[in-house]
Structures are given as structure tokens and as C-alpha cells.
């Protein structure tokens, strides 16, 4: 039990560790050498029906239940080859949609119901031969459902937020000691108190395990010519002068790889400190950082919402992929996900943020340049959302931002 507590402690506080004791960034830190993450996509099933509507409302058409969903293992840890622990997050790509009518006024409308499942589970597994293994999964989860109200402010589908049990099973094919392909299935039971149907998921995906690099790989990386800055400072400016086209492109079909938001930022200023935790021989690098930003919303003249000022404070991880090494620069793509954040306002342009605790996500590309690669520039988009941890989560959309920095 003490080992499990240590692992969970590390999962939660690793982004906050200064990492001053780590001298060789070319090797995976010892405390991360059994960590892993997973990405799975598949079909979710939750039989929403007339039963979720409050008394006095009825369906006017079939409920639209999109089935495509994503299940992520945000952080996992292998205790040994037979047992792991992991933090998970699952949600549909598109929300369930109701078309309903008020039985008294006969006024009809349509609205979506948001739902996601977060979990902390144990995963016992049994190796079968050299490349295959089967596993089971069990643990605790939190189901969050954001319902909706009619135009008069009466609840049609109620909000819900409650603990539940999670179960699962799957089959893995281990390509090598880092990469694996997998078939997965998961289940959470019906909850009568909150009138929530059962949820099941069947899909497939991959897992990546952090393993130590060999001395040969490290030496090869040292002779590749890549320079890996240790830490850097950035200042950034955000503006919606080019609109929100990039945000919309990557947050909707057919390429929903990021998120949007109902509250839209007009402009902002930010200050970042970022530090490299470790880097692979050529491609992969993991950083952490802190961010302070001030923002101004776009406002909504049609609804008489004036522009608002707010600020955010974040501690964030960065997954960075170096994709182009040239004589005068090194280019990379990066992704920041689920960075714990304080947001100063919970109502922006009439949209509810849920709480002053939220998460920051960023996606962008950048370069290090100069003889010692001590100059830096990035273009990115961003997003603030509580991930439906709270029932209100209308999110913030951050348009294109330009960051410039200095590495030292």
C-alpha cells in the first residue's frame, strides 16, 4: 500500500518539482522510468431517454447519441509487470442532443447534455507469451453531467456529479518495451439517484511507456548536433485580429484534436518560465513551466455583455516533439494538457466557467535559433476548461498567440 501511495504522490506533484537534482537531461528521470500514457478511441454507449427529462417535458424527436469517444490515461505507473495504477479521462467527441417540448406551453427546443468520466483505477495484467498480455481494471470514478434548462430557467435535464465504480478489461500487443497496441473495454453502472444510465466504452489505441535510453542512444543524441536549452523565459501577445479560424478548425469535425470555448478572448499578455525535464536523443522532450496571463474578452454586444478583464495563473507540463533540425534553427511541435490553473472570474461574457479552478491547454509550434539556440519564438492557440469536473464548463477560447523568449 505504501508503494501505491508513493506512486500517486509522484503523479500529482511531479509538475511542481524543481528537478534541481537532475544533471543529465538526456536520460529519463528515475522516478518516471515506469510511467506511461494511453490514447484510445472507440464507441461509447449510454442509453439516454425520456427518463432523464423532468416531469412536464416530452421528446419531440429521437435523441441524438453520437458514439465516437476518446479515453485517455493521463498518467499511469507500472509497479511491476503484473500491476499498474492510472488516472483516466473519457468523454464523447460530440454531446448527446435532446429535442423536447414543454407539455404545458407546447414550446419546443433542443439542447445538448455534456458528460464525462474521470477515474483512478488499478490494472492487474497477465503476460501471454512474448508480445501479448490481458488485463483487468477496477477503481473509482467521478461522473459529471451538465444538463440544461428551458428558456424560462426551469430544469429540463438536471446536472449531476457523483462518485461511481469503474470496471474494464483489455488485450495488449507489445511492439517493444515502449510501444503497445491495445483493445479496451470499460463500464460504469447506472445510478438511480441521479437518473444516469450505465456507460460502456469499446475501442482501441496505443500506450507509450517511458523507459531508460541505452548508452548508445544517448551518445548518438550527443553527436546529432541538436542543442537542448535547459530553461527559458517568454513573453507573449494574443490577439483575435485574425479571428478564431485555427481554433475552430482543430476543435470540430473532421479534425477534433483540440478544444474551443464559448467565451472568446480578444487580446492578452502572458509571461512564461519553462524548464526542460528531459529530452530524448532526437525527437521527444518533456518540460514543465509556470504561466501568468492577463486577458480581455471579446464581449457580446448582442447580449449587452461588455468586454471583461481577467487573469490566470498556471503550472503546466509540455510534451514537445522536435521535427526539424536545421543549421540555423530547431523546430518543434508542442502540446500542453490539463495544466492546473487559477482563473480570476467564473462568469465571462455571460458564460459560466464553473469555479476558479480550471485547466489550461495549449497547442503550437516554435523554433529555437541563434548559434547557441538561445533565442525562441512560438505560435500557439489555447483553451481554459475545467474538463467537466464541475457541471458548469462553458470554457474559454484563446486565439493565435505569439511568444518570444530567451533561453539560458
Q: Are residues 162 and 130 in the same domain?
A: yes
226 shares a domain with 338: yes
Distance CA 234, CA 291 (A): 9
Residue 200 shares a structural domain with residue 267: no
Residue 164 lies in a domain: yes
- Which DSSP symbol is given to 54? P
Domain identity same for 198 and 62: yes
Say what the pTM is.
Answer: 0.80
Whether residue 7 lies inside any domain: the answer is no
Is 18 a member of any domain?
no
| Alpha carbons 58 and 103: distance in angstroms, whole number | 7
Q: Is residue 144 part of a domain?
A: yes
Q: Determine which of 4-8, 45-49, 71-75, 93-97 has the lowest per-residue pLDDT on average.
A: 4-8
Q: How many domains does the chain have?
A: 2
**Of 190, 209, 228, which marks where a domain is finished?**
209
> pLDDT, tens digit, for every residue of 211-265?
998 888 888 877 777 888 999 999 999 999 999 999 999 988 777 788 899 999 9
Full domain range(s) for residue 389: 215-407
Query: Which of 162, 191, 209 represents a domain boundary (last residue)?
Result: 209
**Euclidean distance between CA atoms 230 and 408, whole angstroms:** 7
Same domain, 203 and 219: no
User: How far is C-alpha 23 from the chain's CA centre?
Assistant: 30
Domain assignment of residue 186, yes or no:
yes
Q: Are 300 and 231 part of one and the same domain?
A: yes
Instruction: Tell whether 313 and 176 lie within a shared domain.
Output: no
Answer yes or no: is 21 within a domain. Answer: no
Q: CA-CA distance, 238 to 383, in Å (whole number)?
A: 12
Question: Among 69-78, 95-104, 133-142, whose mean pLDDT is lowest?
Answer: 95-104
Q: Tell me the HSE value of 294 on the side-chain side, using a 13 A CA sphere.
A: 2
**Count of Cβ atoms closer than 10 Å to residue 253 Cβ:** 8
Alpha-carbon distance of 368 to 327, in angstroms, equals 11
Chosen domain end from 144, 179, 209: 209
387 and 248 in a single domain? The answer is yes
Residues 354 and 290 in one domain: yes
Q: Looking at residue 20, what is its pLDDT? A: 41
Predicted confidence at residue 302, as pLDDT, reads 67
Closest by CA to 36, choosing from 86, 81, 101, 100, is 86
E-only strand ranges, 103-221: 108-128, 132-146, 148-149, 155-157, 160-174, 179-188, 199-209
Question: What's the longest Cα–Cα distance across the chain?
Answer: 76
Q: What is the CA radius of gyration of the chain?
A: 23
Same domain, residue pair 222 and 368: yes
Residue 23 lies in a domain: no
Cα–Cα distance measured from residue 65 to residue 71, given in angstroms and rounded to the nearest whole number:
17
Q: Whole-angstrom Cα distance, residue 261 to residue 245?
A: 13
Question: By CB neighbour count within 10 A (0-12 exposed, 13-18 middle, 19+ buried), where does 187 fall?
Answer: middle
Determine contact, residues 200/45, Cβ cutoff 8 Å. yes
> Residue 120 pLDDT more than 50?
yes
**CATH (domain of 90):** 2.40.160.20
Residue 286 · residue 278 · CB < 8 Å: yes
Are residues 120 and 42 located together in one domain of the fold?
A: yes
Looking at the structure, do residues 204 and 247 belong to the same domain, yes or no?
no
End-to-end C-alpha distance for the chain, whole angstroms? 42
12 in any annotated domain:
no
Amino acid at each position: 500500500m505504501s508503494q501505491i501511495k508513493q506512486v500517486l504522490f509522484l503523479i500529482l506533484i511531479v509538475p511542481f518539482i524543481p528537478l534541481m537534482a537532475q544533471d543529465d537531461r538526456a536520460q529519463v528521470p528515475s522516478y518516471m522510468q515506469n510511467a506511461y500514457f494511453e490514447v484510445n478511441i472507440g464507441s461509447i454507449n449510454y442509453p439516454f431517454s425520456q427518463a432523464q427529462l423532468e416531469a412536464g417535458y416530452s421528446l419531440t424527436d429521437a435523441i441524438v447519441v453520437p458514439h465516437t469517444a476518446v479515453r485517455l490515461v493521463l498518467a499511469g505507473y507500472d509497479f511491476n509487470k503484473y500491476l499498474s495504477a492510472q488516472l483516466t479521462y473519457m468523454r464523447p467527441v460530440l454531446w448527446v442532443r435532446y429535442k423536447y417540448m414543454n407539455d404545458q406551453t407546447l414550446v419546443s427546443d433542443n439542447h445538448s447534455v455534456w458528460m464525462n468520466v474521470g477515474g483512478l483505477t488499478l490494472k492487474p495484467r497477465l503476460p501471454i507469451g512474448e508480445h501479448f498480455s490481458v488485463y483487468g481494471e477496477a477503481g473509482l470514478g467521478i461522473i459529471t453531467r451538465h444538463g440544461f434548462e428551458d428558456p424560462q430557467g426551469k430544469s429540463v435535464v438536471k446536472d449531476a456529479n457523483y462518485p461511481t465504480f469503474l470496471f474494464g478489461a483489455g488485450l495488449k500487443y507489445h511492439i517493444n518495451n515502449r510501444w503497445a497496441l491495445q483493445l479496451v473495454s470499460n463500464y460504469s453502472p447506472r445510478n438511480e439517484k441521479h437518473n444516469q444510465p450505465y456507460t460502456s466504452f469499446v475501442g482501441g489505441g496505443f500506450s507509450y511507456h517511458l523507459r531508460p535510453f541505452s548508452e548508445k542512444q544517448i551518445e548518438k543524441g550527443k553527436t546529432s548536433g541538436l542543442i537542448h536549452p535547459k530553461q527559458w523565459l517568454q513573453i507573449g501577445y494574443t490577439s483575435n485580429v485574425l479571428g478564431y479560424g485555427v481554433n475552430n478548425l482543430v476543435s470540430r469535425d473532421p479534425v477534433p484534436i483540440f478544444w474551443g470555448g464559448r467565451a472568446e478572448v480578444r487580446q492578452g499578455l502572458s509571461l512564461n518560465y519553462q524548464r526542460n525535464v528531459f529530452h530524448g536523443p532526437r525527437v521527444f522532450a518533456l518540460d514543465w513551466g509556470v504561466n501568468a496571463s492577463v486577458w480581455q474578452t471579446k464581449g457580446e454586444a448582442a447580449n449587452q455583455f461588455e468586454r471583461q478583464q481577467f487573469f490566470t495563473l498556471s503550472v503546466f507540463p509540455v510534451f514537445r516533439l522536435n521535427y526539424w533540425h536545421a543549421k540555423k534553427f530547431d523546430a518543434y511541435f508542442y502540446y500542453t494538457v490539463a495544466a492546473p490553473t487559477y482563473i480570476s472570474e467564473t462568469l465571462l461574457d455571460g458564460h459560466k466557467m464553473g469555479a476558479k479552478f480550471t485547466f489550461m491547454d495549449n497547442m503550437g509550434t516554435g523554433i529555437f535559433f541563434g548559434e547557441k539556440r538561445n533565442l525562441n519564438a512560438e505560435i500557439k492557440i489555447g483553451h481554459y476548461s475545467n474538463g467537466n469536473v464541475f457541471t458548469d464548463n462553458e470554457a474559454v477560447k484563446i486565439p493565435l498567440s505569439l511568444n518570444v523568449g530567451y533561453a539560458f
